[in-house]
Structure 1
């Protein structure tokens, strides 16, 4: 159910599977399992777009995958965020905040690594266009991106 959008989430960036940068050329910032489990169960798996920032810094366009990544046969659900910005450092341990604005496509497997990369590149181009629309662009200014996240410990 997509009526929950926009959806805000945040947490520490942790190591993922090591595929984003190395295999795909599309680096991702990954949430720990507790953040993944905090998302509504009714949220469909697939590719989404929205806004993201790291440690209350500038807000950037992003695409993200929510699901099991069937091409890789993952055993655990993950949330992998690709920000449309080049960072010159590792982001592990820093705080990632995301605003999921819209849904791009359902999760599916691919015949080849090349077709997976092509689909993600298509997602990126769609996200850029959607996020330039006024109603979606205004979410970049959401107070969430400058507020301190509360710990649930």
Structure 2
């Protein structure tokens, strides 16, 4: 529907998030199955446009994957906060805002040396993560 695929964490992972992580849009780095590290934008919250009843954590990785990510290990490093969660009057408004989020994330990750260095953090090299980091419904969803 949006043309912006997301990989989604299972509900138990979302429920385990620290209270300090407020609903909103974040940016940072991500990798899948210990592969290359890519830029990402993540929505954490209830997605008011879709009137979701459960909190979700959906990651848009800025890389064109040619497969779905069902059951893949998804690691993310949240670098910063972009904006609070909000509702939109139309689908086009939502899509345009997401595109602005992506552009802002790319700029922030490229323009700040500290942010760029996190791409090479040892966390992405650790292969001993737990299974609860695997994507939940497993698909790269096309709705954020």
Instruction: Place the TM-score, normalised by the shorter chain, in its bin.
Output: 0.7 to 0.9
Q: Which has the higher contact order (CA 8 A, sep 6+)?
A: 2
- Equivalent-residue separation in structure 2 for 1:150 and 1:110 (angstroms): 36
Q: Which structure features the higher share of helix residues? A: 2
| Aligned position for 1:37 | 15
Aligned length: 130
> Secondary structure of the equivalent of 2:48?
coil
> Secondary structure of the equivalent of 2:34?
coil
Q: CA RMSD in A?
A: 1.0
The runs of 5 or more residues in structure 2 that have no matched partner are 133-144
- Equivalent-residue separation in structure 2 for 1:150 and 1:122 (angstroms): 33
1:145 equivalent among 95, 111, 124: 124
**Superposition deviation, residue 151 in structure 1:** 5.0
2:114 equivalent among 135, 146, 150: 135
- Equivalent-residue separation in structure 2 for 1:151 and 1:86 (angstroms): 24
Moved over 2 A (4+): none
Aligned positions of 1:64-143 closer than 5 A: 64-132=42-110, 133-143=112-122
Say whether the 8 Å CA contact 2:73–2:131 is kept in structure 1.
no
